[in-house]
Amino acid sequence: MATHRVSSDHIHTYWSNAITPVLTVQPGDTVTFETLEASYGSVARNVREFAQPGLDPELIEIIAADAYPERSHPDRDPAIRGGHALTGPVAIDGAEPGDTLVVDIVDIKPAAWGYTSCSPNPERLGLLNDDLGDLTNSVYWYFDLRNGDYADFKPGIRIPVGPHPGVMGIAQAEKGQLSTIPPRTNGGNMDIRHLQPGATLYLPVQAPGALFSTGDVHFAMGDGEVTGTGIEMNADVTVRFDVIKGQTLPGPQLRTNGQPLSIPGPAYATTGFDPDVREAARIALRAMLDHLQAEYGLSRPEAYILSSVVVDLKISQIVDRPNWTVTAYLPLSIFG
């Protein structure tokens, strides 16, 4: 059972079973992936322009020094817009279609900084981009992660760590290149906050070797990732692989490590009701932003960003037609 490391020099920004693996490992081996944050370096390169007022000047210099140059991907189909920076892929010897790849999440080491953003552009990812008042430009919020256990949002608002990769996946069965934005049966951009150290992910192998990659790691995130970002960060992600021969799954499945499904403690909740579950979520979230503004004096963008980091959206019922219920939970332990 060997240990390996894959550096962020090995990046791809699309899914394809034609990408040559960086290395091939044996079942039982452990691999550490050096991953890059979701903006692929742009928020670090532009930190002096984007930083919120009052950000620690020392942290600004750390972020600026940590910026890596933009890299081109000449093999990517220009029709595929965006794309996460994924480290890999790694082939697992003996993994074949019809098998299950077992991915034990061993450890996640955060970088010194992270960020969350929101945008008023309705074409960008986000649940309430059209409800930010007269905001015309994107807002970026940088976090100091050097403590490791928490990140301070504003004085009196502290967010506990809950590190997880937003993207963990394998090559798809079909030929060609696929965007990394939507999740699929091969995993990918699932944004499941409970895939933290101690959890296990099970993926249905679709291509020889499985070809596993990961990236888009979050220091913390609420269920919903409502602005399109959690606290995005560079990180070292260590996983251990195994293969279950002859067992296939309809899609990704997971076993959590027993941590609570939300930040522990009491919560304040808002609700939304609508025949469309996404609209019900928008109604619940809109009420939560109103509450954060009225109760805690946050601006609309600040309330939106904080919600993306800590607020959990839950389907409370989906049987009482014609209206479904979505509830937004705000953990009160983050305050004071």
Give me the phi and psi of 80, to 5 degrees please: -90, 110
Distance CA 175, CA 133 (A): 44
Q: Kindly report, residue by residue over 272-331, the tens digit of the pLDDT.
A: 999 999 999 999 999 999 999 999 999 999 999 999 999 999 999 999 999 999 999 999
Where is the domain boundary, 224, 255, 286?
255
Domain of 294, in residue numbers:
267-334
Q: Are residues 19 and 107 in the same domain?
A: yes
Amino acid at 70: E
Do residues 177 and 14 make contact, with C-beta atoms less than 8 angstroms apart? yes
Cα 67 → chain centroid: 20
pLDDT number for residue 68: 83
Residues 6 or more apart whose CB falls under 8 angstroms from that of 173 comprise: 17, 97, 186, 206, 207
pLDDT number for residue 259: 67
Give the domain CATH number at 156: 2.60.120.580
Q: Are residues 206 and 292 in the same domain?
A: no
Q: Are residues 95 and 13 in the same domain?
A: yes
Q: Has residue 262 been placed in a domain? A: no
Q: Are residues 104 and 13 in the same domain?
A: yes
Pull the structure tokens for residue 169.
């996946």
Give the predicted TM-score (pTM) of the model: 0.94
Give me the phi and psi of 16, to 5 degrees please: -165, 140
Give the domain CATH number at 296: 3.10.28.20
Q: Has residue 67 been placed in a domain? A: yes
Pull the structure tokens for residue 232.
């995005």
Q: Has residue 175 been placed in a domain? A: yes
Q: Has residue 169 been placed in a domain? A: yes
Distance CA 217, CA 144 (A): 15
β 164-169/232-233 pair status = unpaired
How many Cα atoms sit within 13 Å of 64 on the Cβ side?
Answer: 13
Q: Are residues 188 and 308 in the same domain?
A: no
Per-residue pLDDT of the chain (336 residues; tens, 9 = 90+): 899 999 999 999 999 999 999 999 999 999 999 999 989 889 999 999 999 999 999 999 999 998 887 766 768 888 887 789 999 999 999 999 999 999 999 999 999 999 999 999 999 999 999 999 999 999 999 999 999 999 999 999 999 999 999 999 999 999 999 999 999 999 999 999 999 999 999 999 999 999 999 999 999 999 999 999 999 999 999 999 999 999 989 999 999 987 665 688 899 999 999 999 999 999 999 999 999 999 999 999 999 999 999 999 999 999 999 999 999 999 999 998
Where is the domain boundary, 232, 255, 278?
255
Q: How far apart are the first and last CA of the chain?
A: 46
Burial readout 205-236 (b: 16 or more C-beta within 10 A, e: otherwise): bbbebbbbbbbbbbbbbbbbbbbbbbbbbbbb
Residues 6 or more apart whose CB falls under 8 angstroms from that of 245 comprise: 94, 99
3-state SS, one letter per residue, for 267-285:
EEEEEEEECCHHHHHHHHH
Do residues 143 and 326 make contact, with C-beta atoms less than 8 angstroms apart? no
Do residues 15 and 41 make contact, with C-beta atoms less than 8 angstroms apart? no
Residues 6 or more apart whose CB falls under 8 angstroms from that of 155 comprise: none
| Ramachandran sector of residue 44 (left: φ over 0; alpha: ψ -120 to 50; beta: rest) | alpha
Do residues 39 and 166 make contact, with C-beta atoms less than 8 angstroms apart? no
Beta bridge mates, 277: none
pLDDT number for residue 40: 86
Q: Kindly report, residue by residue over 64-81, the tens digit of the pLDDT.
A: 998 887 766 768 888 887
Give the torsion through C-alpha atoms of 250, 252, 256, 262, to 10 deg: -110
Q: Are residues 127 and 198 in the same domain?
A: yes
Q: Are residues 234 and 278 in the same domain?
A: no
What's the count of helices (H) and strands (E) in the chain, helices before strands? Answer: 5, 20
Q: Has residue 260 been placed in a domain? A: no
Amino acid at 37: E
Q: Are residues 315 and 185 in the same domain?
A: no
Q: Has residue 113 been placed in a domain? A: yes
Q: Are residues 206 and 119 in the same domain?
A: yes
Cα dist. 29→3, 9, 309 in Å? 6, 21, 33
Q: Are residues 212 and 298 in the same domain?
A: no
Identify the burial level of 167 via C-beta atoms within 10 angstroms of its C-beta, where 0-12 means exposed, 13-18 middle and 19 or more buried.
buried
Q: Has residue 148 been placed in a domain? A: yes
- Count of structural domains, the chain: 2
Where is the domain boundary, 211, 229, 255?
255
Q: Has residue 261 been placed in a domain? A: no
Q: Are residues 10 and 84 in the same domain?
A: yes
Q: Are residues 326 and 251 in the same domain?
A: no
